[in-house]
Chain A
Amino acid sequence: MDRYIGKPLRRFEDERLLRGHGCYLDDIRLPGMLYAAVLRSIHAHARIRSIDVAAASRSPGIAAVLTAQDILNAVKDIPAIRREGMEELRIPEHPVLAREKVFYVGQPVAVVVAQDRYAARDAVDLLEVEYESLPPLLDPLLAAKADTPPIHEIAGTNVAMRLRAGKGNVEEAFVQADRVFRARYEVPRLSAVPLETRGVVAQYQPEEDVLTLWTSTQVPHRVKRYLAELLVRQPKKIRVIAPDVGGGFGRKIEVWPEELALSYLAMLLGRPIKWTEDRMENFITTHGRGYVGDVEAAVKNDGTILAMRFRIVADLGAYLLTSTGGPLGNAVHRVAGPYAIPIMDVECLGVLTNKPPTGPYRGAGGPEAALLTERMVDLIARELRMDPVELRRKNLIRKDAFPYTTATDLTYDSGDFLPALDRALELAEYGKWRQVQKTRGPLEPLIGVGVATVVKASGGTGQTRTAVAKVTIEPSGQTKIYTEVSPHGQGSVTTFAQIAADVLGVSPEAVQVLHGDTDLLPTGQGTTSSRGLTVGGSAVYVALQEARKGVTQLASQLLGFPPEDVVLQDGQAFNRRNPEQGLSLAEIVSGATRLGMLPEGTGPGLEFNARYTLPANPYGFAAHMAVVEVDRETGNAKLLKYVAVQDIGPVINPMIVEGQIHGGIVQGIGQALSEAMIYDPMGQPLTGTLMDYAVPFAEDVPSLIVDRRETPSPTTPMGVKGIGELPTVASPSAVANAVSDALATLGVGDIDIPLSPEKVWRALQEVPVRASRSRVSAPNSRQGTPARPRRTR
């Protein structure tokens, strides 16, 4: 019975966090704790001639200064996970501390440990590194060229990954098409900007030879596996704990040099050590996105897309961290989007540059791929003088086509796209805004309406599709859930308790959800890939079903009526035919213990374990619409309206889902309008502070109109689909398309994100004089002459 599933319960996590009673990494204080600070490269590319640690070592309160030389045989380099498309490459591994050369501004060179963080920071300034500056390689397109000297000699090339996907005769399709369109779009590097930066506390207990690492991570078990491998320690002698984590967005799923350096130092010094990343370090040490894509489409005059071709270059940065290759491996398939495009040809190159390593950032290849596809779809509509919504309607996958396998070899489990799109149109008052757009006078701000229709998988690939879970019922009757996902804003504590409440007939407040500690469960993949509910939650659900079965069985045996008559409700198991006959969970546990009914070796309570593998990823669909107003004089684009309709599975907690959607939309608005990591020609980051890097403010975001439709997934036991990343896939494209739509009313072609006021203003300077008077991008407009795509390969 769904008493709690589907209810907008307030998050159990929030009261503690909002009152300031959370325990984030920097809140951890251990007796005798020392503090670390990191010296980072100031060059994008340089040879290290020498490092003089003498002055720093003499500085007051200094406990240790660590450079690469000190850990040569003690700590291994951080390996990249081998992926498809990386077979032939000798991949440079990320050294914990730089050896002969540095390859990006921000690369760790030395670590100082001191009595307090002030002394540590001061000593960093006393370290003297003599560099010989080398020319940096910054442009990914240049890096993709065969004759560009490799930044890492060992690799022999700057092309670290080469991936292909697609099927069908693409050449023939392009020959047979009525129209062919080409464009190049960029997706700049972005910072994930988690409210809490990274941080580590390492503690070593020599008496037990145990290393404990608290780290602000999404993946405690993964960090543990790598610590064991790279420090050459037995896994059982390592414990990793994720305390409260203030946002990750994919950039906390790596193992980091600082985690390894602090572990080593804690063992060396025998004292706990803390390092807390500052905001500037967070901005310069890792990014998401960083794509350039050449997109071509072969189209019939009626708007049917026959084939698409993509040539994508991803700027991976100077090294491949453990998940750097992941997004590209996703993007190569995800460019197919929600459309029935029979023929696809996709090639992705991942290239090395003198910038920090990239990796998954909320959407992980999805927003990148969607932006390329969705902007092209809008371009096709403009050029064919079709309404972009109608063009989508023509090409979206039909409800009866599921399971649908794309030409890029993704299989979509289920969906019903058109009603979701229709609902978005209705909520956005699409027709009305098209009318407003048409009637705008020459001195009034321009109006643009943008649409994006996207899909996003949840669950991941390989091992991330498997999760373990444990449910216990203590002698007190208390239900505990042990989960291997590591929530940091997803609300899993509340959601899982709601599921438990319905399955076991208890109150959700009475359920304790434990996570974020490698000592709780033997394995885990953490919270990544929108897997929290679909994989982690499914494992919990399976364990809860076992618990339900077990409790029912015991109640039936203890009370002597058939199991099918057992009802679990209000923390009791009772006889449906005789409700007077019942036992509390505590009575069941004690009864079973007393009568020796528990399996050998268990107890004192009941314990149920599950291991769950998601057979195939569920896919959610989103139709987003944005209305913008563009100031013709300043180029400023202001959002007037935003509508997001999701076609997802059943929802456990609609309030949490809505919160996820709000956050995802706003992150995407930032990507579309204002966010980008900018580097100067020497590879120096220019956007390393929140005074330079523009995340959206509340005033930049209109009231968000969110709705959903339900199409259960056949692949998960509860029919659920993940929601964490889906909105972030849609919103950058919806907003970019809206601004493009506004500019198109003056005949201005696509410009690249972020659509900052200055960029829009520059584009407006190029308005063709005739077009500015005659061309209106109204649906089915017959006026004007088609403009050529501004960028061609």
Chain B
Amino acid sequence: MIPVAFQYHAPTTLDEAIAILRRYLGEAKCLAGGQSLIPMMKLRLVAPSHLVDLRRIQDLAHVHEHDGGLAIGSMMTYYQVQTSPLVRQRLPVLVEATNLIADVQVRNTGTIGGAVAHADPAADVPALLLACEAQVYTVGGAKDRRIAADRLFRDAFTTALTPAEIITEIRIPALPPLTGGSYQKFAHKASHFAIVGVAALVTLDDRGVCQRVRIGVTGAGYKPTRARAAERYLEEKAPSKGNIEAAAKRALRGVEFLDDHRGSAEYREHLTHVLVARALAEAAARASGTS
């Protein structure tokens, strides 16, 4: 469990960090908490020659209101996210999801931007960002840009980020009134990563009919994925048990499920349907104020 030798950099500004990433293009990786990267380095699954620690850069760990939604700095630790009064008030489901990440030690150090950039196919946060239709802001690429969450995740551990690009902020648009959220996770007994995790947001109209449904699924396939067919099915329908079951059956049709000793493709597909149904039911109940 000893990594290959690497050089450690601790820049204090974004410009400095970008300069280092560009100087060692393709050989350098950002260190944003290190709760996934360091174990992978110790197993020699990855061997970057340079690590650029983002912790000393000012202003990457913040959270504030933006256009009625949230702007969360990429270096916010899970613990900081969980304990932020603003997040608790605006997006309690994000607090619930981060609560289920690993253990206290990891949550004290791991960051939300780190989770996004690492793109573990079983990470919890990406599912929620998909359901929230979050925007990811970056610097260091050809130009500063924002990337929609569902365009960011490309494959297992693969994102749309270029090698010198750094995530600075994640923006989550304001949720409409009468919106409820839920995160349902079935964790692997050893890793406590999701075998399948489902984030759902349901917005009801004043008749109690689903107006807007958003579902993000993690763990099931090679990347976190929106369950659009299930969303469409339930929109304009009442969140009855039957409708929710029918919607859940449509989740991730055609997606290639992961198939390994932690869970077969068949089981992951089944769990996706179970957890989508549970997440939709809880989100709808919360939207209507019955839960």
State the A residues within 8 Å of B (CB).
Answer: 117-118, 121-122, 125, 278-280, 633-634, 636, 673-674, 678, 686-687, 689-695, 697, 700, 756-758, 761-762
Contact = CB atoms under 8 A, between A and B. Distances in A.
Contacts of A633: 274
A280 B190 contact: no
Contacts of A122: 4-5
Contacts of B192: 697
Given A280-B1, A692-B262, A756-B189, A634 B43 contact: no
Contact of A634 (B188, B189, B274): B274
B190 A693 contact: yes
24 contacts: A117-B2, A118-B2, A118-B5, A121-B2, A122-B4, A278-B1, A280-B1, A634-B186, A634-B271, A634-B274, A636-B186, A673-B189, A674-B190, A678-B261, A686-B261, A689-B43, A691-B190, A691-B191, A692-B191, A694-B189, A694-B190, A697-B189, A700-B189, A761-B270
Contacts of B1: 278-280
Contacts of B4: 122
Nearest to A687: B261
A636 B1 CA distance: 32
Contacts of B34: none
A291 to B, nearest CB: 21
Interface in B1-25: 1-2, 4-5
Contacts of B260: 686
B264 interface: yes
Contacts of A758: 263-264, 267
A693 B274 CA distance: 25
Contacts of B193: 691
A118 B261 CA distance: 32
Most buried by B among A118, A756, A758: A758
Contacts of A695: 190
A550 B187 CA distance: 63
A607 to B, nearest CB: 46
Across the A-B interface, the 6 shortest Cβ-Cβ residue pairs: A694-B189, A694-B190, A691-B191, A121-B2, A278-B1, A674-B189
Nearest to A679: B261
A765 to B, nearest CB: 9
A692 B261 contact: yes
Contacts of A761: 267, 270
A180 to B, nearest CB: 35
A695 B192 CA distance: 11
Nearest to B189: A694
Contacts of A697: 189, 192
A631 to B, nearest CB: 9
A556 B30 CA distance: 79
A125 B190 CA distance: 28
Nearest to B274: A633
Nearest to B186: A634
Interface residues of B, number: 23
A761 B195 CA distance: 14
A689 B5 CA distance: 22
Contacts, number: 51
Contacts of B271: 634
B215 to A, nearest CB: 18
A692 B190 contact: yes
B20 to A, nearest CB: 23
Nearest to B264: A758
Contacts of A674: 189-190
B252 to A, nearest CB: 17
A117 B42 CA distance: 13
Contacts of A117: 2
Nearest to A754: B189
A78 B228 CA distance: 61
A762 B262 CA distance: 14
B248 to A, nearest CB: 11
A756 B192 CA distance: 14
Interface string B246-272: 000000000000001111100100110
B170 to A, nearest CB: 26
Contacts of A700: 189
Contact of B43 (A280, A678, A757): A280
Given A122-B5, A280-B1, 18 more contacts: A118-B2, A118-B5, A121-B2, A125-B44, A279-B1, A634-B186, A674-B190, A686-B260, A687-B261, A689-B43, A690-B190, A691-B190, A692-B261, A692-B262, A694-B188, A694-B189, A694-B190, A758-B264
A697 B271 CA distance: 22
Contacts of A689: 43
Contacts of B191: 691-692
A492 B229 CA distance: 63
Nearest to B193: A691
A439 to B, nearest CB: 23
A689 B1 CA distance: 11
Nearest to A759: B267
Nearest to A116: B2
Nearest to A118: B2
Contacts of B267: 758, 761-762
Nearest to B39: A691
A303 to B, nearest CB: 36
B245 to A, nearest CB: 11
Nearest to A674: B189
Interface string B68-111: 00000000000000000000000000000000000000000000
A686 B190 CA distance: 13
A695 B263 CA distance: 17
A13 B174 CA distance: 56
Contacts of A692: 190-191, 261-262
B42 to A, nearest CB: 9
Contacts of B186: 634, 636, 757
Contacts of B43: 280, 689
Contacts of A279: 1
A122 B267 CA distance: 40
Contacts of A118: 2, 5
A756 B271 CA distance: 14
B201 to A, nearest CB: 22
A349 B267 CA distance: 35
A114 to B, nearest CB: 11
A255 to B, nearest CB: 25
A692 to B, nearest CB: 6
A94 B225 CA distance: 50
Contacts of A634: 186, 271, 274
B18 to A, nearest CB: 30
A697 to B, nearest CB: 8
A388 to B, nearest CB: 27
A700 B189 CA distance: 9
Contacts of B274: 633-634
Contacts of B5: 118, 122
A646 B8 CA distance: 55
B244 to A, nearest CB: 13
A278 B43 CA distance: 10
Most buried by B among A118, A634, A697: A634
B110 to A, nearest CB: 15
B178 to A, nearest CB: 28
Nearest to B191: A691
A118 B186 CA distance: 38
Nearest to A676: B261
A462 to B, nearest CB: 38
A402 B216 CA distance: 64
Most buried by A among B44, B191, B261, B264: B261
A113 to B, nearest CB: 15
A700 B190 CA distance: 11
Nearest to B277: A633
A125 B44 CA distance: 10
A678 B263 CA distance: 13
A591 B228 CA distance: 93
